[in-house]
């Protein structure tokens, strides 16, 4: 009997992830893998973000969902091109799915590719898609204990967005405690406290995003593993 280990499966998807990364780098594209639990506000965040800077940058969206295309339809107004991936019950996107989606995007017309992963704080964090970086999204109604309960995602994320900050007065969400735990788990992560609904905090998030775009465009397009410079200066 042949036993296939999870480590072996991850090795295979990592190879395909590196292939995707080469494509992103050769085209000078910022590729963000945005991960959150269901209902945290990923799609609303993307709608507002694109509405603010789509006059400067062209967005391509890879939209991951279990069954529907509702989020993709919402984002289609703002994106230059969009590809829907329905996983039919699989709790995450993998690098092969993303690779097939890239065939349907006009890459040389884009500046930013957003991969909106399936709503889940666990599985998506384990699969490398070739992204420039992961962005973890956490919403106030979920509770401030999520970074400690799901450290895998928050440890890998280059940025953490705490959304629905307008609800802070109506919850027991411990914002200082949550930020402290995030800094202990991942001292290098950028942390943004926002409300995508009211627009509070969006300016800092968008400013960081623009710096990331410029950092990627300045990298040598050689497919080499080049670490992005810090963007907090």
Express as a percent the part of the chain with pLDDT over 90: 78
Measure CA 139 to chain center: 15
**β partners of residue 63:** 84, 116
Would you say residue 11 has pLDDT above 70?
Answer: no
Residue ranges per structural domain of the chain: 17-217
Instruction: Indicate the pLDDT class of residue 134, thresholds 50, 70 and 90.
Output: very high
* Confidence at 220, pLDDT banded by 50, 70, 90: low
pLDDT at res. 223: 43
Q: Which residue has the higher pLDDT, 91 or 34?
A: 34
Instruction: Select from 186, 20, 60, 36 the least CA-distant residue to 124.
Output: 36
Q: What is the pLDDT of residues 103-116, one digit of tens each?
A: 999 999 999 999 99
Please state the rounded mean pLDDT for residues 157-163. 98
Superfamily of domain covering 17-217: P-loop containing nucleotide triphosphate hydrolases (3.40.50.300)
Q: What's the pLDDT at 233? A: 40
Q: What is the pLDDT of residue 66?
A: 86
């Amino acid at each position: 009997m042949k036993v296939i280990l999870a480590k072996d499966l991850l090795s295979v998807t990592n190879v395909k992830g590196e292939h995707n990364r080469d494509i992103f780098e050769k085209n000078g594209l910022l590729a963000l893998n945005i991960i959150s639990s269901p209902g945290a506000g990923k799609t609303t965040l993307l709608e507002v973000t694109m509405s603010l800077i789509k006059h400067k940058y062209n967005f391509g969206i890879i939209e991951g969902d279990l069954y529907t295309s509702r989020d993709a339809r919402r984002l289609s107004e703002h994106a230059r091109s969009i590809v829907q991936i329905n996983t039919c019950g699989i709790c995450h996107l993998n690098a092969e799915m993303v690779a097939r989606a890239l065939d349907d995007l006009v890459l040389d017309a884009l500046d930013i590719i957003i991969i909106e992963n399936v709503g889940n704080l666990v599985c998506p964090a384990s699969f490398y898609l070739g992204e420039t970086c992961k962005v973890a999204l956490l919403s106030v109604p979920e509770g401030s204990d999520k970074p400690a309960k799901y450290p895998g995602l928050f440890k890998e994320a280059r940025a953490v967005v705490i959304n629905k900050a307008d609800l802070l007065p109506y919850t027991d969400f411990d914002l200082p405690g949550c930020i402290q735990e995030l800094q202990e788990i991942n001292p290098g992560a950028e942390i943004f406290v926002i409300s995508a609904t009211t627009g509070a905090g969006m300016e800092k998030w968008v400013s960081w995003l623009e710096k990331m775009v410029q950092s990627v465009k300045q990298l040598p397009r050689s497919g080499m593993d080049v670490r992005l410079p810090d963007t907090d200066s």
